[in-house]
Amino acid sequence: MSMLLRECKVEVIRIFRNPYFIFWSLLMPIVFYVIFTKVVNQGMENQAEWNAYFLMSIAAFSVMGSSIMTLGIRMVQEKSEGWTILLRVTPLPASYYFIAKMVGQSAVHIFSICIIFLSGFLINGVTMPIGEWILCGGWILLGSAPFLAMGLLVGTMKKVDTASGVSNIFYLLLAITGGLWMPMEILPKLVQTIGMWLPAFHYGNGAWSIVRGDFPEVKNVLILVMYLLLFMVISVYSRRKQEVV
Amino acid sequence: MHSVVQIENLTKEFKGRKAVENVSFSVEPGEIIAILGPNGAGKSTTMLMMLGLLKPTSGEVKLFQGDPVSRAVHERIGVMLQQVSLMDALKVKELLALFQSYYPNPLSMEKLVELTGMTSDELNKRTEKLSGGQKRRVGFALALAGDPDLLFFDEPTVGMDSTARKQFWLTVKELAAQGKTILFSTHYLQEADDIASRIILFNQGKVIADGSPLELKQSLLRQSISFKMNETTKKEILMSLQDVLDVLEDKGRFTVMTENPDHVLRKLFELDMKLEDVAIEKGRLEDAFEHLTVEQEVS
């Protein structure tokens, strides 16, 4: 157990020391938030509501991105450089490596969520009952599970360039079609229909519901769980296939 | 005493081409084994199969009588692969501490520093900031972290300067003196000769010689004279000649093994034997060794 804990701790340290993580997962989303609440969408009739709503979008956007990209690309990198090969001849169980990667990443997400929520409060004075803050944060943290699984799937790719390209495209497509950049309602009808079946919308929608004072819909949970299982199965399968050399 | 490594009929095919063919050997505790051979001889492939990192097409590998991929075996081995890659964003000492935590009875940090000759400056550096030689040294320390009984080094001195090389082999000898079993691959004849207690010579995926450096050198010097002879000369007469090591007979053709063919030939003629179709052949190890010596001169 202490072996697993130490492995998680090391992952957290490593992510924090990575300047790209700080830039893409913290700085970028906050800059986005400022642009879309202070510059572009100024003077809306329900500005306060929009500010809170968009804060959730941007937090979800950040955590989703680091789940898919940071996790996946780092795994490909460690594999292609030969580090994971060396780990295979140590007593560290293979499952610990994956668990530590996901747990470590999630621990960092708690930090990201806090920072982004805090900047929402500081920049736009977003306020909610403490329970709602915690619920939102918890939802964004736990709801990222299918995206972490997607990161694992990206992690099975062979080249860093491929992994980085593919995950970037998926990430941005998911973010747009899921209404994380702009509300679903203003997207074309076709995109809306497709987006309804993709995980990003349901991820964001859970947090938006909480902001409105509701709870996430059952459908949101079901679709996220479905994608979690789907990505897990595919990534376990392709990993098995790769191992038999 | 039980063998530490046991390999039986190991074969690996890549797309129909045999990279390793029917290799068998076993290693006893305390041996220092050099797996010697030119590039592409199948040394690394064999080592990867021994470690369970590559699945053999056929054949079997046992380490400590067990499955090479079991945790019990992993706790007793240390490995330095050809390409040393280190986890980035960690200081050297953090990485070493992490590795120590993987093993039940790790070596202390002081001991690791002493054995590998790392400086305290290096210990506090991030792994991505190390030079190639420093990375190798850390790779060496990682291999030793668990105080293993059996060590694998795949081409360990490639990329080391001569000082680092000296230090490395000094430590290896010290480890061997403590009773550890060591297996390393190399294409440097000199290294194998200086360090190993036994050399397993690979060429084109096969083991072509296996013995102490002395035995290998002797069989390398061994040449053969072969000829046809109708007379009913007894093998014993040939055997009794000075410098003759062995005599083989195959369908009227005799092959005389010797380290001194000039002398033996003179003797044969002095005996006035009717020799036909005389040929002198160099030892079969010669080719493989020529590869090795040529390569050394290049690098």
CB B198 within 8 Å of CB B32: yes
ipTM of the complex in this document: 0.86
CB B146 within 8 Å of CB B106: yes
Tell me how close the Cα of A171 comes to any Cα of chain B, in angstroms: 25
Residue B182: which of B13, B32, B12, B29 has the closest Cα?
B32
* Contact residues on chain B for A83, CB-CB shorter than 8 A: 85-87
* Contact residues on chain B for A14, CB-CB shorter than 8 A: 87-90
Tell the burial category of B3 from Cβ atoms under 10 Å away from its Cβ (0-12, 13-18, 19+). Answer: middle
Higher pLDDT, B286 or A174: A174
B208 contact partners, CB below 8 Å, separation of at least 6: B201, B202, B284, B285, B288
* DSSP three-state, residue B266: helix
| DSSP3 helix / strand / coil % (chain A, rounded to 5) | 80, 0, 20
Tokens of B30: 């305390």
Cα B206 to Cα B39: distance, rounded to the nearest angstrom? 13
Tell the burial category of A151 from Cβ atoms under 10 Å away from its Cβ (0-12, 13-18, 19+). Answer: buried
Q: Which of B64, B81, B102 to mutate to test the interface with A (most CBs of A within 10 A)?
A: B102
The per-residue pLDDT for range B63-88, each reduced to its tens digit, is 999 999 999 999 999 999 988 889 98
| CATH topology for the B222-282 domain | Alpha-Beta Plaits (3.30.70)
pLDDT (0 to 100) of residue B299: 46
Residue B36: which of B267, B200, B280 has the closest Cα?
B200
* Contact residues on chain B for A6, CB-CB shorter than 8 A: 98, 101
Residue A198: which of A218, A168, A171, A217 has the closest Cα?
A171
CB A112 within 8 Å of CB A62: yes
Residue A123: count of CB within 10 angstroms of its CB: 15
Q: What is the DSSP track for B160-200?
A: --HHHHHHHHHHHHHHHHTT-EEEEEES-HHHHHHH-SEEE
Scan residues 102-121 of B and list those with Cβ closer than 8 Å to A. 102-103
Q: Domain of A71?
A: 2-244
Number of structural domains in chain A: 1
B209 contact partners, CB below 8 Å, separation of at least 6: B199, B200, B201, B216, B219, B285, B288
CB A63 within 8 Å of CB A144: yes
| CATH topology for the B5-217 domain | Rossmann fold (3.40.50)
B49 contact partners, CB below 8 Å, separation of at least 6: B10, B12, B20, B55, B56, B61
pLDDT band at residue B181, thresholds of 50, 70 and 90? very high
* Contact residues on chain A for B90, CB-CB shorter than 8 A: 10, 13-14
Q: What is the mean pLDDT of residues B205-231?
A: 83
Query: What residue ranges do the domains of chain B occupy?
Result: 5-217, 222-282
pLDDT (0 to 100) of residue B232: 67
Q: From the list A85, A92, A244, which residue is nearest B81 (CB)?
A: A85
Mean pLDDT by 10 residues, chain A (245 residues): 87 90 88 88 79 95 94 92 92 92 94 96 93 96 96 93 94 94 89 94 96 93 96 90 72
Residue B160: count of CB within 10 angstroms of its CB: 18
The per-residue pLDDT for range A122-168, each reduced to its tens digit, is 999 999 999 999 999 999 999 999 999 999 999 999 999 999 999 99
Does the CB of B288 have a partner CB in chain A at under 8 Å? no
- Chain B residue closest in CA terms to A87: B99
Cα B20 to Cα B1: distance, rounded to the nearest angstrom? 28
Residues of A near B (Cβ–Cβ under 8 Å) read 2-3, 6-7, 10, 13-14, 17-18, 78, 81-83, 85-86, 88-93, 244-245
Residue B43: which of B69, B77, B16, B10 has the closest Cα?
B10
